[in-house]
Structure 1
Amino acid sequence: MYKKSLYKTNLFLIFGVIAIVISLSGLLLLFSNIIKAELKYQFKKINLSNKSKEKQVLLPVKPVDNNFSVIIPKIDINAKVIPNIDPFNSKEYLDALSKGVAHAKGTSYPTEAGNTFIFAHSTTASIINVNRYNAIFFLLDKIEKEDMIYVVYKGKSYQYKVYNKVIVDPNRVDFLTQKSKRQTLTLMTCWPFGTTLKRLLVFAEKN
């Protein structure tokens, strides 16, 4: 009787361990893109700190799309930009965000004066959507003043220098309509990642 009870206990323990392993594997798979992005960023930081203390110049890589792309060397972003997307039409921008990041309809293009607005965020707090919609701008909070951002548009590259970064409430849409004689760039994503609680915005100006 004792042996049978011990056998059942061991069996439950084995099944418990298997269930935990399967659950952890599922979580790793779900967050694989985010984990990969964070590891690449940390590895790059270690490499740069081990090299010369002089300021490192990170050159942009070949763009994924010569028609419209955004490149941020510091956080290894090289993403296709889907142009002229309505930021208030969830069906339209979710479709765009499954292919890259979105350029907000009504905002400027890099060849024009004014603000070019590019966004990547999810519309639901569902954990399933974290990898699909948020991974591209997942490390956007690592961007700081003086960091460089490159936008490739119709075969030409444009360089922007970051001058500010803010976190705001989701009802702040005035950034979409701001007018400027300067040539500026705004990047936006949901914050914290995987939620729609706040918006993280990075502002840069063309060099």
Structure 2
Amino acid sequence: MKQTVTIYQFGDALQGEINIQPRLVLRLASYLLRGLGAGLIGFAVIAAVFAYGPIVKEELAFKFGNKQIKEAPVSGFGLLLDVVEAQRVDRVRAEAASYGVGSYFSVVIPKIGAASDVIANVSTVSADEYLQALQKGVAHAKGTHFPGQRESIFLFSHSTDSPINFAAYNAVFYLLGKLEVGDRVLIFFADAKYEYEVVDKQITDADDTSWLEDKGQELLILQTCYPPGTSWKRQIVVAKPIDSLPR
């Protein structure tokens, strides 16, 4: 006689009877357990790959030499150039410091004992801006160029309309008119030294802005008020790079 299992269902006054063979129940349970086990194993494998995959990858890359970074070859000549450049910068900084200025941007005129740091890109039309800059040092006109760019470089200082204000502003260029053709002017810029030689000087009207325009060559243009202590006119000194002058 076959064994049967009776299952009753209750609810809504419905009642029934189902006969299920025990072997079928066991078979279904076995399939269910096997599927659950396979799922757990698969999950464990995936988790292990995510957890240890990067480590295994790094180990294999190191073992087969793909992890090493090849050093770029450096020639002895290249190292020598680096040393020479470092020594050059040190010399420039030391020379600038001997004049009491920095090598970032400064001007030195040995003949008249003028030495000052330069404030770059100062407006020539905003009185508030350039007067504030002139209290700190020499101003570099905004829109003009820098040493080595083969265009005009315009520096100005001592812009005051009264001797009473003389002490309030940096009078570095007060003796600019004493310069003569052939005198030297040194500019330190970006850890490099540039040497210029005076080639001309002029007295111009106060509203003459033509000197702010490029002249098609590298010119160092220095400006101050004239006569000293007034703002009636302008003293202009023009210098050229020494390496551009015929010898």
Q: Is the TM value for this pair above 0.5? A: yes
Task: Flag structure 2 segments of 5+ consecutive residues without an equivalent.
Answer: 1-94, 243-247
Deviation at 1:128, TM superposition (A): 2.1
Residue 102 of structure 1 is matched in structure 2 by: 139
Listed one character per residue, the Cα deviations across residues 28-85 of structure 1 (whole Å, up to 9, x for unaligned) are xxxxxxxxxxxxxxxxxxxxxxxxxxxxxxx984351211000000011110100000
Q: Residue 201 in 1 paired to residue 236 in 2?
A: yes
Structure 1 residue runs of 5 or longer lacking an equivalent are 1-58
Letter in 2 for 1:139: L
Distance in 1 of aligned mates of 2:218 and 2:100: 21
Task: Decide whether the 8 Å contact of 2:163 with 2:229 is kept in 1.
Answer: yes
Runs of 4+ in structure 1 over 4 Å off: none
Contact 2:158 2:174 in 1 (8 A): no
Q: TM-score, normalised by structure 1?
A: 0.67
Decide whether the 8 Å contact of 1:104 with 1:118 is kept in 2. yes
What percentage of aligned pairs have identical amino acids?
42
Of 155, 172, 175, 2:191 maps to 155
Q: Superposition RMSD on alpha carbons, in Å? A: 1.6
State the 1:114 CA deviation. 0.7
Measure the CA separation in 1 of the matches of 2:146 and 2:171.
24
Say which structure, 1 or 2, has more relative contact order (CA 8 Å, 6+ apart): 1
Q: Tell me if the contact between 1:102 and 1:120 (Cα under 8 Å) persists in the aligned partners.
A: yes
Name the count of aligned residue pairs: 147
Distance 2:170 2:163 in 1: 10
CA contact (8 A) 1:63 1:152 kept: no
- Do residues 191 (structure 1) and 223 (structure 2) align? no
**Preserved CA contact (<8 Å) 1:134 1:193:** no
Distance 1:152 1:63 in 2: 12
CA contact (8 A) 2:135 2:170 kept: no
